[in-house]
Structure 1
């Protein structure tokens, strides 16, 4: 099996290089100047200069797998790069990163020749959009009305796509079209369309749609009429479009974690800056217990979300056949957790968070508006929880066995070299359920053997153990019903996400404590997860105060695997 080096330990990491460039670009009158980005948001203008800077830095090459001529060898790397961009501005990250989303169906199912051509186009500067949704159909891609009819010359495309990111600015579009009048799972196909080769009067953009967040992004649509595509435009086999989309969504939903984590980093930076510099009642806000608790819990929320994202991005390489579960957990949990964090920061900032001329060019109000849209990208939170509910039968199996070797078998989810990126290995459902959640009893056994811990730590682990057992018992007892699942099933899916999040913390604890991740950080994350699994639980608030102290002193964003934690107590 081909192996690639773990980017986190590379001295010449492209992630570090991009982060340094982004800091430089924040200067006055530079592409990522906060004042300039605020003006663009106010006028709902596309961030042309910022996207151009990312192009010049070579970011598009990381949207293309190495086998197709790009630099995407490690999925966690491209997620880390998009997180770095989102840390400065979500609109830019969403506008630029959409090319990866538009291309990913070709990486999953396209022919080698098609993928190589697309790779050349993207590295050459072409923008790609993903035409899935239509007016009135929402997330139901099997209700689409845009048609592709087979003709002697290839395929004739007719219809409209709506609410599409970069629909107008893109040169290429990957379009899902109905190829059978009856529709259904085998009634749709994907087509890679080069707009530059089509008659201008047959492809018309629809007007830019005003949005509450990401105001400057090109959220629009397009109509096509009597457009004939060559046979080579078909992606995969006829009738496999919906299957390809569902597999591609496992990658794009995971990539969306970058947007939320970047927004969380940004919110924390604003919170700590405010707390250090604002004085009330004769002292710094940073000295006030309530403010410190808010900052500590907000930091724990971002780090807990990062734990889920970290194992999921590596699972793309290590456990691709379980991505139908992990990607759904990641997309439902990470934006939800980060939005809670943003809400905590809003409570801390008060009115200043929404005054554009008073505090940081109104950055907080903008990121709050922008991030609310992330939760609906590539399937809303409810859509992803429904995806979990459909797999409850498998997820509830075999839980409870204590296997002390499981921590070593899952080590690839948090450390070490990664197998080669192979989108073709993705499956629609996981036959084995979720190995990470099933590993909780074994991980707890391993940690208890390694670390006697204090009474509070032991109690935390015991509460998590009981909660996970209860969740899996309820999942095993769940019986599918026709139609939309009930509210109790969605609540159970939410609790399952917390079990996976806690399991991610345990796995990192088992393998990365000697690699720069302090025990107190993981304990704070687990405290946060268990507090939601066990309402009314009396936890340990001191861990949040310790985390707040480090957040207030840190010179850069907090991160599990790339932050400089220094000497932390505990």
Structure 2
């Protein structure tokens, strides 16, 4: 997978953003009226998905070596962010093909990967069926079974998958099935089920499930009735199903983060427009002090989430062996941060008639739709549990300062060329911990040195020191956690949430240090104030003025949202 230069990376995002702007006109597939009407009827956004097909978005779900255009996982993240900025239902419905196909890319069979890549480029929709009605996220309890068939070979698939996105409309479905009656980590395998190759009566769709958010999405299930699968339907080797899917989730969570960030963009755009137009007893809301402060803190929360998301997407290439940590942290943190942002805006602006001023229910729909992103590809609870499992090695790595310097430099410099993605480097456990966090002390030293030489403010250095102290103490507490696998103590999940904040703050510092100019530290100050506040650490009252500056930036350019990325990539969002 050859990685393209930054300008080429930004180009498809710029083009898609321009196209979406045209398609939001009245009567077009992405217009507010049409999407609101579809949501009201719980109808699938077929025309909007077709427009994305015509643009060629499916090509970016397929790695370049398999005939597609995907050579930087940050690109597909930003493309899904652009769609989500307009409508999350469409992004979740269309982007499922990216999520559903990754297991085949991970497994490493070039012939099967090329065949799937060709089908996706031709318009095939792919889903991924992991969960079952009675087992939720407990994949080891899955009952859908695949048995070897004597004679001509192949497999017989039986059972029901449920609560799956796009499974009824999909042409192909990646299915996790029990291939050993005893189950266990090596008792499951993955199959790519091609519906066109099944005999009549081999499967039956289950009814669409009414959902709180993304109402128009195809959330349903399939029942397999002795469905006969050919040998080449097997993804990887028998018994590798759980390992492959867990590694695939390390990658697919980048797409989920993109959707969350797009929802955050949309929420801030709606709030900025409303604030510019509404008034409180004659005073424009944009001048009401507590409204300004809340808007600025919401922007800071999105920038902090963006820092984690940008570094996580680049880490797929640069810190591949650490993705078991990085993806779990970012997937738990980014959706939670955006949920908090939306709730903050609803609470702050609701009393001023936000709902009445929102004739198509855009904000209410956004709030409902985004709730489900936190569940995709592992809930926050699942991801935090996965992080807790690695507390001992994370604490050791931090204490020793163990990190991958070259990989960290690539992951945190948005201008640096990325190495090709190597699926074989994915690991269920990180051997080096988390370089982003382990390198925090040295990054804080750099900020302090810059402050001493006039290259940064003393206030920024103080905030960075605060993050380091909080991170030091956190790792000491993480090292004391002891538990059995089925009895994780409740306080450990609180520590996991704190780790996410420290990771995001560290990512923001690294990204700022990697900029060649470092002329603007406002966004970093705001990010660090936000992180320290959420960590419960003391912050000087004057430092919160950074939130007001972000509010000015938000309101100064209608239709845009502040970004920590450089002008090239920021404009391309």
With the shorter chain as reference, the TM-score category is over 0.9
Cα distance in 2 for residues equivalent to 1:491 and 1:303: 22
**In the alignment, which residue of structure 1 is the partner of 2:4?**
5
Contact 2:280 2:352 (C-alpha < 8 Å) held by counterparts:
no
The answer as to whether partners of 1:353 and 1:365 remain within 8 angstroms in 2 is no
CA distance in structure 2 between the partners assigned to 1:393 and 1:95 by the alignment: 38
Task: Answer yes or no: is the 8 Å Cα contact 1:407–1:510 preserved in 2.
Answer: no
Q: Does 2:532 match 1:530?
A: yes
Residue 81 (1) aligns with residue 85 (2) = no
Measured against aligned partners, the alpha-carbon deviations of 1:81-136 in whole angstroms (never above 9, x if no partner) come to: 00000000000000000001110100001411110000000000000010100011
Give the Å deviation of 1:281: 1.4
Cα distance in 2, alignment partners of residues 97 and 255 from structure 1: 8
> What secondary structure is seen at the aligned counterpart in 2 of 1:541?
helix
In structure 1, what is the equivalent of residue 92 of structure 2?
94
The 5 A counterparts of 1:54-453 are: 54-152=52-150, 153-350=153-350, 355=355, 358-400=357-399, 410-415=408-413, 416-452=416-452, 453=456
TM-score by length of 2: 0.94
Q: In structure 1, the residue corresponding to 2:361 is in which secondary structure?
A: helix
Q: Deviations over 1:508-555 (max 9, x none)?
A: 12112627x721001101110111223454441110000100011124
Aligned Cα root-mean-square deviation (Å): 2.0
Q: For the residues of structure 2 that align with 1:230 and 1:410, how far apart are their CA atoms?
A: 43
1:499 corresponds in structure 2 to 502
**2 CA distance for matches of 1:11 and 1:315?**
16
Map of 1:38 onto structure 2: 36
**How many residues matched?**
561
After TM superposition, give the deviation of residue 366 of structure 1 in Å.
0.2
**8 Å Cα contact 2:154/2:228 also seen in 1:** yes
1:279, distance to aligned residue in structure 2 (A): 1.5
Distance 1:116 1:508, change over 3 A: same
Matched with 2:473 is 470
Does the aligned pair in 2 maintain the 1:467–1:534 contact within 8 Å? no
Residue 18 (structure 2) aligned to one of 20, 26, 35: 20
> TM-score normalized by structure 1?
0.95
The residue that corresponds to 2:565 in the other structure is 561
How far 1:414 sits from its partner (Å)?
2.4
Counterpart secondary structure, 1:15: helix
Query: Alpha-carbon deviations, 1:478-501, whole Å to 9, x = none?
Result: 223341311111111111111111
Within 1, Cα distance between the matches of 2:29 and 2:485? 52
Of the structure 1 ranges 541-550 and 552-561, higher mean CA displacement relative to structure 2 is found in 552-561
Are 2:292 and 2:551, in contact at CA under 8 Å, matched by a contact in 1? yes
> 2 CA distance for matches of 1:154 and 1:565?
48
Taking a change above 3 Å as real, the CA distance of residues 565 and 45 of structure 1, as seen in their structure-2 partners, is closer
The DSSP-based 3-state class of the residue aligned with 2:115 is helix
Contact 2:274 2:357 in 1 (8 A): no
Q: CA deviation at 1:561?
A: 1.1
Q: Is the Cα contact below 8 Å between 2:205 and 2:223 reproduced in 1?
A: yes
CA distance in 1, matches of 2:568, 2:349: 26
Note closer, same or farther for the CA distance 1:81–1:181 as it changes in structure 2 (3 Å cut).
same
CA distance in structure 2 between the aligned counterparts of 1:70 and 1:484, rounded to whole angstroms: 44
Deviation at 1:309, TM superposition (A): 0.4
How far did 1:12 drift? 6.6
Q: Is the 8 A contact 2:390 2:429 kept in 1?
A: yes
